[in-house]
Chains A and B, each alone.
Chain A
Amino acid sequence: MMQAVMPPRDPMVPDVYRVSRAQSELAGVVTLEVEPVSGNRPAGLPGQFNMLYAMGIGEVAISISGETPRGFVHTIRAVGAVSGALAGMEEGAVLGLRGPYGTGWPVAEAEGSDVVFVAGGLGLAPLRPAIEAVLAARERYGRVTILAGCRSPREILFRHQLEHWRQRLDVEVQVTVDHADTEWRGNVGVVPSLIRRAAFDPDDTYAFICGPEVMMRFSATALQEANLPAERTFLSMERNMKCAIGLCGHCQFGPSFICKDGPVMALDRIAGILAMREI
């Protein structure tokens, strides 16, 4: 009997997913849990991203902010037509999904070391799967520190999750805001100021940074001032991802394509071009 020959899968064709849960996080920020309409979701790594397609509108790269047994979790800020359409989706809505793509946080490589997570604003979303992975195997790591910054106390992403992590006795969680009134009992200041106060062994620490690029640059500088080597400092870069498979060049960043060489990149690979305007 002849075996049917399956055509190679076209990496540009999305699978059909359905929103199984939509939760408002902050003004204009929504977390969607999505599941494939048929079959199982592919495996993903903490730090990778998917291309989400709002049918008839367009496609956008969104980091994975968690996983469910059947699907992915994505946290989306409505800033344009596509992200606005995705953020407006309710339970049952249908979307396209390609992925996961790109590099992940080196969670396994960091075993045996201290780990510092530095998140700014929505940057906590791509870090969350890595934090969960480290906490799930807590005994394999040294000191674990989570430093999160945002604009104001009203704009703290995953507040309940941060509180839950803080309740653990084996994790240091510090949150800072840029602006606050005197009712706020937490810290006021920028994330790099938290790095200067954090306890970690610079000779044996991995740092994972995610947030707006300016915030990541300042945070990377603060970590270098604390003598953390650039090869153990990782940033999640963001550029205009289109094809997501390293063909179209829209996300070129110097000699790299963020979609396939990133988004998670070691600082020693990009330090020379990180602050370059022309890149």
Chain B
Amino acid sequence: METMDQLMAKHPFFAGLAPEYLELLAGCARNYRFDAGEYLIREGDPADTFYLIRHGRVTLEIAAPGSAPVVISTLGESEIVGASWIVPPYRAEFDARAMDLTRAIGIDAKCLRGKCDADHHLGYEMMQRFLPIIVKRLHATRLQILDVYGSK
């Protein structure tokens, strides 16, 4: 059976991360399994965990009273669910729900924040890995807002 740091080393998010950091992060990680329809994250909850999808699909959703939830994005294998853990006030902005049976590595964000505060090199590594994901999602959201397939 693979250890947590071995599992994490296989995930693209951790590609090239020094083994000592992988070992350190493995102390904050555990495996999760979500059935289809189960929530990984609920809007407004403390952003204390983020997930690295190993298998399955997750939708990011937002719901307004009186109307059906709207899906903002679908995330799949090798992608990250949850970015609010990295910026105050550390609260989830969207619901994240398993679309299919989903297996993920969950990282205890409070634990990770503590380790990043204690070791700024680790903090910088995390920023370098998270920031491109956040920027790409921002670009994608802008493209969605443009409504490029409109008839005008």
Contact = CB atoms under 8 A, between A and B. Distances in A.
A272 to B, nearest CB: 21
B68 A181 contact: yes
B38 interface: no
Contact of B70 (A176, A179, A189): A179
A151 B149 contact: yes
Contact of A151 (B97, B99, B150, B152): B150
A186 B73 CA distance: 10
A189 B149 contact: no
B101 interface: no
B147 interface: yes
Interface residues of B, number: 25
Q: Say what secondary structure dominates the interface of chain B.
A: mixed
Interface stretch (B27-35, B81-89, B117-125, B137-145): B137-145
A120 B149 contact: yes
Contact of A185 (B69, B70, B99, B143): B99
B151 A189 contact: no
A20 B74 CA distance: 41
A77 B151 contact: yes
A interface majority secondary structure: mixed
B141 to A, nearest CB: 9
B68 A182 contact: yes
Interface residues of A, number: 32
Interface stretch (A107-115, A211-219, A237-245): A211-219
B71 interface: yes
A182 B143 contact: no
A189 to B, nearest CB: 5
B149 A150 contact: yes
Contacts of B99: 185
B151 A215 contact: no
A202 interface: no
B151 A188 contact: no
Interface string A145-168: 000011100010000000000000
Nearest to B146: A214
Given A155-B149, A215-B143, A218-B139, 4 more contacts: A120-B149, A181-B69, A184-B71, A192-B140
25 contacts: A120-B149, A151-B149, A178-B149, A179-B70, A181-B69, A181-B70, A181-B71, A182-B59, A182-B97, A184-B71, A186-B74, A187-B74, A188-B59, A188-B72, A188-B74, A189-B73, A189-B74, A189-B140, A189-B144, A190-B140, A192-B140, A193-B140, A197-B76, A197-B77, A211-B148
> Which 10 pairs, one residue from A and one from B, show the smallest C-beta to C-beta distance?
A121-B149, A212-B148, A151-B149, A188-B71, A187-B74, A190-B143, A188-B74, A181-B68, A178-B144, A190-B140
